[in-house]
Every structure is written in structure tokens, then in C-alpha cells.
Structure 1
Amino acid sequence: MKAEDFQGRRVAVLGLGSTGTALVGRLLEMGAEVLAFDESDSAETAETVGRLRERGADARTGQARPSDLAGADLVVASPGVPPHSPSMRSAAEAGVETIGEIELASRLTEGTIVAVSGTNGKTTTTTLAGEMLKRTGRKVVVAGNIGTPFVSEVAPQDADTLYVLEISSFHLAYAPTFRPHVAVLLNVTPDHINWHGSMDAYVQAKAALFANQTADDFAVVNASDGRVREISRGVASRVVPFSTEPLAEGVFVEGGAIVAVLGGRHEEIGDAGRLQIRGAHNLENALAASAAALCAGAYARQIGQVLASFEGVEHRLEKVALVKGVTYWNDSKATNPEAAIKALQSFDEPLIVLLGGRNKGNSFEELAAVAAERARRAYVFGEARDEIAPALEGVNVPFELVETMDEAVRGAAASACEGDNVLLSPACASFDEFDNFEQRGATFKSIVDEMGPR
């Protein structure tokens, strides 16, 4: 499909966040007649609608009705719009083809796609793979859930471009023909159940990552994750496993070295002990990125150079500061219990953990059990505090309930001793108090910065 194919076509966009706005802009550039809807009636949404109207879109607040969509040639849903929303039900009733942003962009590109998905670790792995592939000298674009929407980056005559994409389950739910050349699935644990409606639906969305691949493509999969192994059974593409334990073939750790055995060729990529990023989960991310980069054409030497120098991504186990002998860590991206568990397991040193926000339909029992082993105290804040507290109480983790993250940080600082680590790893979404996890992490860093000299 080419951009000119949209000239004069009537396309409806559902959801006007950053991705929806980018969709509207790109569709207008391609000459489409654009209808746009957002079910929110906030002042911010009203401003967005006004700006899009000025650009020529028929933008509206409120849900799309079947009659609004009946004349559309195509409906494109933003990733934040759940399948059970009124507007999505209207699209189904109108009988119009409905796809997502990643699907639309993939139909427009001739480039090669490396897609990274999983419950946790996507951003670190995507960033690492992008850096590794840039060492090849090819044009590399990193996009998707990591920041810039894919649809904003797709360019005409882009056959030589490598697109390295962070892909969420929201994207995959609306991507019926999406076919990445290299697809990476890191892990699958409960998350976004409130959006998908069930764990089965969430797993099905993740499985869609491989659905359209052929024998010419690669499926990079975590050999240590049972759900990932099950999803990868029977895929048409070539399966490349990764593991922190030795494998017969794949990318793995052996004798302290990161090793690749692919197609009978044995290569040492680098020393696992030289990684700059903390935690066993980040070692898995490094292995996955290495496998993806190898499949997409990078050399082992280029990959090893990146692994030895990469210092991590903001809001992912980010070391913020040492204040009065206490080290503060920002892991605001830990928006589910499994991510917080992995962060906690990265510490053997004395630890105070900050937990809370808005629950996404998850249990906190397993997180509490790990906190009992790793943390000497917890500060629990936000909407989910009354859900987290009983789990901590059940395993005798000392904790204090507070309303806001600010109170949690300052409470932790007041109780911390020299040598302690204070870790923000909330295990929840941020939307009860913040616009997104980035704002939450930035606010945490700002509070720490106010505390005094390093």
C-alpha cells in the first residue's frame, strides 16, 4: 500500500492521544478525509480537537456512533482505545475494517521491521537492539511504544531502513497482518487485564507477534518463560531462543560469557559480567537484543561493544543520586508487580521500596513475598495502597501508608540510614496521580534533587 492510495479516502481515527494525533496528521498529509473521535471530555482533549480542526480534520469529542462510521473506508484505533470501548463497539456494528496504528504504518513501509514485545523489558531491549544495529551503518529508526509513533517515522522509498519497534499488546490487538522480519518476545506475565478483559486475551494478543511470519523470518524467544515457549510452538519462522543458561543453539550465557550459536556457528559476544545495567532481568534483555541484532545483520563484535558501554534507559532502574549516604533509584516504568519483583531481586543491599499507584487488575501476593526477602521497609501510596497493604501485612513487611508519592519519598528519606537504597518501583500504573510513568519518574527525581547536596 502506498500513501497515494489514501487520497480522497474517508478514514476515522479513534483516540486522540499522542499516537492518535500523529495518525490524523499523517492521514491528512496523504490526502485522506479524516474523522477523529475521543471519548474524553477533558479540557486538554478539547484543545487537541480544536488544533486538529484547524488542520482540516473533522475532529470531535465524545464516542463515535455507528452512523458516524458507516461511511468510512477504514477505522484506525489508537493503542489506548480498548476493544470493549463504546467507539470500538460502534466500529464493529458499522462493519468497517478496523486496524491499529502499527498495522497502518506497516502497510505503508517497505523497510525491515524488528519488533520487540513482552510484559517487561521492552524499552531496554528495543533501545539496545537499535544501538547495536546502528553500528552496522544502515539507517535505523527506533519507534513505537518507546516514544515516536511508527506512523510518524515511515518514509517513502524506505526499503533500506531498519525499523526497531517497541510493540505493546495494545498494538498487537489491532494488527491482523503485521509481519516483522525479526520478532522478539521477552516474557508474558499478567498485565493490562483490565484492558484486554482476560489473561487469555492478553496472551492471544502477544501471540499475534508471530502470526504472519514465514520461514524467512526470525522469532527470538525467552527459553526460560513457559508462556513464551508455548506461544512459539508451531510458529512458521525460525525460532532463536535466548537464556541465561547454556543452550544447544541460540544466544545464552556460558562460563560467564555471552555466546551465540546460530546455524552451527559459535561466537563469543562479550563478558556478561561487564554489563553496565543492573539485574538478572537486564541480562535477559541484553541476550534478547543480541539475538535480534544478529538476526537483523549485526556482527558479534558490534554487539559486544554496545553491551559493554550501554548504561540503561531513563525510569528503568535508573540510579538518580547519592544523598546523605542513601542511594535513590528510579524504576517508575515498573507498572506491574512482575516488573517490581525483578527490580527488588536486583538488590542485595539494604532496601526501602516505594509501591503504589493505580492497579491494573493484578495481585500483589508474589510481590509481597519478594519484598519480605529483599526490603526492610515499604512506603505504600496512591489508589492501590489499600490493595497492596494486606499483601505486605500477610508476610510481615513493615510498611507505612501515605496518600501521595511525595509523602512516600520523604517518608523513606526520613527513615533511611547511611548505606540504604530507596527504590521507586511502584508495581502500578501512574494515572491516579500523574499523566504517565515518565512524569512520575521525573517528579521522583525532582524530589530527590531538592533533598540537598549529593
Structure 2
Amino acid sequence: MPAVISSAPWRPRPNPDAATIAAIGDLSGKRVVVMGLGRFGGGIGAARWLAAHDARVIVTDLADRAALSDSIAQLADIDLRFELGGHRADLLTDAALVVVSPAVPQERSPFFAEIVRRNVPWTTEINLFLARCPATVIGVTGSAGKSTTTAMIHAGLSASWSGGACYMGGNIGRSLLADVAEMSERDVVVLELSSFQLADLPRIARRPELAVLVNAFPHHIDRHGSFDAYVDAKLNIIRGATACTPVVIGGHDDRLIARVRDVADSFGGSIIRAGDEPPPTGLTLPGAHNADNARCATVVCRLLGLDADRTAAALREFRGLPHRLEFVGLFNGVRYYNDSKATCPTTATASLRAFDRPVIALMGGKARDVSLDLLQSAIRESARSLFCFGGGGAILADAVRLDATCGPRPVIEIAATFGEAVASACRAARDGDIVLLVPGFESYDEFPNYEHRGRAFAEIVKRFHHVND
């Protein structure tokens, strides 16, 4: 019988943040503004939760109704008001609270500056949840792999956890605010946390009872200003934690471990290096980076007292998440993988190196100024052919062509559109090949987000083979 987490010596009893709850108070009949509805669940979850507590909810977003149609449809059954296409200052009149989306660049937002100027109380969806959650929280963050690691931990818990219910949410796409009323101290929550969500965590006292930092490399520098500031935001996951909180760190980044140790020493936290774990065997997901994710999940499940054999079996059976090295299908002997979530050079590099043979790579998207040195090396090592799309693809094609490094260059083709690039890759593939969507750039040139791009890839591949078989 696996150990129950409430008996684990390292874990303090979860303590909802009474001071934060008291400061916000009863919202019944009060005007509450949700700043930023977005498309990924947090704004929707906040609006539904606030309406359930009888607040007079106003949702404001810079995007228009057409762009937010999917999110608006999910709120069709509740009574609230939409103010879209901009943020009007008069919405703050008599507002008791503003719930600010983590996607809002606060330092550049006139509306947020007006919130501060008027001294209107504000919070975030994730802080609303953490302040009230009675369950044990496992917080997971990192630059890449945090969603997969979150889901792997949840899979391990689902296989053998007997202490109560298991929940998974946060940045992975599901708000858990609506579930708080059903949670108890016997439950456990696996919560993915982005740097944007963590930036405002110091506004409340609650911290995860167990923290996982999968990795850290330069990302979102346009928002945070520097890599140091980005890492500082990530470290809010443990900054201010209670005594003896364990911190699981993936990989072998000594500089990151030193940064974590500086913070952990302030509260007596213990550091467990998941990179020292033996490699997992029999994983379905390809790639060394997924083996690192599984190591983190293995350590967490062991800390929770879960059965090691059941954990290992759950990780072997884990099929991954959509758009993260997702297996699309086998057609005419060709294996197709969708890694549309690989939107930066570091994640794209890991994806290219995940396979045991050179791949046919589809790369590109919205152009941006990033170093391509690491990615160029991975392309030369791991790509037999390179089909490029968008401004990012054109930049990447030029960089690979001009690369003076010795060694073979992949065959490069630049397509006018994403769809043309996918069709060309399908035509070029032969029995035994791997076709990999591994953009390395964001999707916003042709698609609203990486999910739309990944779904389009799968649809084009399946349509091509249906038409051309």
C-alpha cells in the first residue's frame, strides 16, 4: 500500500491563504473586472468562478469578439458583460477587484497603470486558486517540458495514489477554481506554472508544498527583460516557501542548481537532482528531453510514497500531450510527428535530436530576432531535408545555407505557405522516413496559436494521403 502523503515528514499541512481571502472578501453583488479573457482557460475559469460567487462580472480584452469566439462560447450560460476590442478606464469605476491575465505585460499596459493609480485591488486567476486550495499542491515550472512533466506526474499519481482525488491544471490549460469547493486536505493537485503566472505569486503567502523546476534557458526575454529576471520569476515557485519544502531539479545545469540553492537555503528546503536518477526504460515518447521529464516525475512520485513499479508502468504507457512530439500517424511507411509547441530554438533542437535517424523537418513561423547557432547545428546533424515556411523559415534557411561549418547540408525548400510546405514534405517522404513539424518559431504569422498550427498539420497530412493513396 503506497504511503499517504499526509504522513510524509517533509510536507506541511496545506494552509489556504487566509489573509488574501480576507482582503478580497465577499464578492456578492460587487463589480469585478476580468482583464484578459484569452484562449487558454484562465480567464474563462476566473469569470465562471466569479459569476458563481454572484459578482457582477465584466470581461475586457484587447481582442475583438471574432478572435475570442471560442472562449466567449464557453461563457454563454452565465450572466456577465463583455467589453472587447480595448480596455476602457471607466470600467474600473466602483470595481471591487480586477483579475489580471498573466498574458498582460503589466509594465506596458495603460489600463494596468490605471488600476494601480486608482488603487483598485487586483489579483490573478492562479492566485485566487492557490489562496483557497486545501489540497497539497505540486508546482511544476521550467522553460520546456513542464506540461509533459506535469502530465507524467499526474499519470503516476493516477496509477497508485490512494490519499484522495488527483487534479491537474494551471498553465496546462485548465483552471481549477471551479474544483476548489470539492477539494480536501487528502487531495493532491499537480499545477503547471508559467513564468508569467509565477511573477505575481509573491502577492500571496501560499506556495506549492513540492516544487519542480524542469530546466531554465533563455525564453520570454521580451517580457522579462533579461534571463536573470526570467529565472527570478521562475524561482518565485519556492521563494517564501515553508521549511523543508523539497525542490526537484531536472537536468544537470549547475548554474541553475546554484540559483535554486541560494533561495532554498533561506527556508531550509531540500534539493533533489532528478538528473542523477537512472534513465527510465521503455518510454513511448522519444527523446532525451522526455527521459529527463520522466526522471522528474519519478522523483516526485517517490517523494509521495507511491509504488515504484506502478509509477514506472504509468510512465511507459504515457502517450504524451497534443502538439508535443505527438504521433500523427503512419502513412505509406512514413511516420508523422507534430511538435508545433516547439516554438523556440532550444525546444526545436531537443525535438530534432529525439530520433535515431535524420528527419524531414518542417520549420518556420513568425520571424523574430533569436540566436540560431544551436538550432543550425541540430539541423545539420538531424535533418535530411528542410521545408521552410513563414518569415522565420526564410531566416532559418539563409542561416543554414550560410553556415560555414563542415559537414553535409540538408536539402532546403522554401514554401509560400505552411500548407504548401507540409504538402511538399509529404511528397518527398519515402518508406521509413520521419516527417517532423518542429517550427522553432511562434505561429502568429498564419495561425492564432500553436494548437491551430498543429491541428492544421495533422489535417493536411491525412488529407494528402487520402487524396494521393
What TM-score does the superposition give when structure 2 sets the normalisation length? 0.84
Contact kept, 8 Å, 2:425 with 2:435, in 1: the verdict is yes
- In the alignment, what sits opposite 1:96? 120
Aligned residue in 1 for 2:423: 410
The yes-or-no answer on 1:205 pairing with 2:205 is: no
Shift of 1:424: 0.5
Which of 73, 78, 88 is the matching residue for 2:96?
Answer: 73
Structure 1 305/73 Cα, relative in aligned 2: closer, same or farther at 3 Å?
same
How far apart are residue 320 of structure 1 and its match? 2.0
* Equivalence map 1:42-121=2 (5 Å): 42-45=65-68, 55-69=78-92, 71-83=94-106, 84-121=108-145
8 Å Cα contact 2:214-2:251 kept in structure 1: no
Partner of 1:326: 334
Higher relative contact order (CA 8 A, sep 6+): 2
Q: TM-score, normalised by structure 1?
A: 0.87
The residue identity in structure 1 corresponding to 2:147 is T
Deviation of 1:302 (Å): 2.7
Q: Aligned residues, how many? A: 431
Q: CA deviation at 1:128?
A: 0.8
Cα gap change, 1:278/1:52 in structure 2, threshold over 3 Å: closer, same or farther? closer
- Alignment partner, residue 55 of structure 2: 32
1:354 positional shift: 0.7
Choose 214-223 or 57-66, whichever is displaced more: 57-66
**Are 1:13 and 2:34 matched, yes or no?**
yes
| Bigger mean CA deviation after superposition, 393-402 or 173-182 | 393-402
Give % identity. 35
Which of the numbers 128, 153, 159 marks the counterpart of 2:152? 128
Equivalent residue for 1:294, pick from 299, 302, 311: 302
Matched, 1:433 2:446: yes
The one-letter amino acid of 1:211's match is R
Task: Give the deviation of 1:360 after TM superposition.
Answer: 5.9
Separation in structure 1 between the aligned mates of residue 73 and residue 312 of structure 2, nearest angstrom:
49
Q: Structure 1 residues 288, 414: CA separation in 2 closer, same or farther (over 3 Å shift)?
A: same
In structure 2, what is the equivalent of residue 265 of structure 1?
Answer: none
**Contact 1:116–1:165 (CA<8 Å) still a contact in 2?**
yes
Q: Which runs of 5+ in 2 are unaligned?
A: 1-17, 404-408
Q: Post-superposition shift, 1:221?
A: 1.0
In 2, the alpha carbon distance for the partners of 1:118 and 1:47 equals 28
Compute the displacement of 1:223 (Å). Answer: 4.8
Counterpart Cα distance in 2 of 1:376 and 1:329:
15
State the distance in 2 between where 1:452 and 1:166 align: 37
- 1:224 corresponding residue in structure 2: 252
Deviation at 1:220, TM superposition (A): 0.9
Higher mean displacement: 103-112 or 362-371: 362-371
What is the CA RMSD across the aligned residues, in angstroms? 2.6
Which of 178, 189, 198 is matched with 1:152 structurally? Answer: 178
CA distance in 2 between counterparts of 1:333 and 1:447 reads 18
User: Secondary structure of 2:139's match?
Assistant: strand
Instruction: Say whether the 8 Å CA contact 1:186–1:288 is kept in structure 2.
Output: yes
- Between stretches 373-382 and 228-237, larger displacement belongs to 228-237
Q: Deviations over 1:17-46 (max 9, x none)?
A: 232122111111112233321112352448
What is the alpha-carbon distance in structure 2 between the residues aligned to residue 92 and residue 85 of structure 1?
11
**C-alpha displacement of 1:53:** 9.2
Deviates more, 1:184-193 or 1:383-392: 383-392
Higher mean C-alpha displacement, 412-421 vs 345-354: 412-421
Deviation at residue 281 of structure 1 after TM alignment:
0.4
Structure-2 residue corresponding to 1:423: 436
Moved more, 227-236 or 111-120: 227-236
Deviates more, 1:79-88 or 1:325-334: 79-88
Output the CA distance in 2 between the equivalents of 1:346 and 1:39: 39
Letter of the 1:172 partner, please give it. L
Q: 1:341 to 1:53 in 2, by over 3 A?
A: closer
Distance 1:242 1:306, change over 3 A: farther
Structure 1 position 299, deviation (Å): 3.0
Contact 2:250 2:293 in 1 (8 A): no
2:364 matched to which residue of 1?
A: 356
- Cα displacement (A) at 1:169: 1.3
Say if 1:49 and 1:69 are closer, same or farther in 2 by CA, change over 3 A. farther
Q: Which amino acid aligns with 2:168?
A: V
> Amino acid of the residue matched to residue 106 of structure 1?
L
Among candidates 353, 367, 370, match of residue 378 of structure 2: 370
Cα displacement (A) at 1:215 = 1.6
C-alpha separation in 2, matches of 1:48 and 1:374: 39
Amino acid at match of 2:125: E
C-alpha separation in 1, matches of 2:111 and 2:75: 19
Q: What amino acid sits opposite 2:200 in the alignment?
A: Y
Q: Distance between the aligned counterparts of 2:282 and 2:151, measured in 1?
A: 18
Which segment is superposed worse, 220-229 or 175-184? 220-229
In 2, Cα distance between the equivalents of 1:52 and 1:419? Answer: 46
Q: Against the structure 1 CA distance between its residues 291 and 411, is the aligned structure 2 distance closer, same or farther, given a 3 Å change threshold?
A: same
Whole-Å Cα distance in 1 between the matches of residues 344 and 170 of structure 2?
20
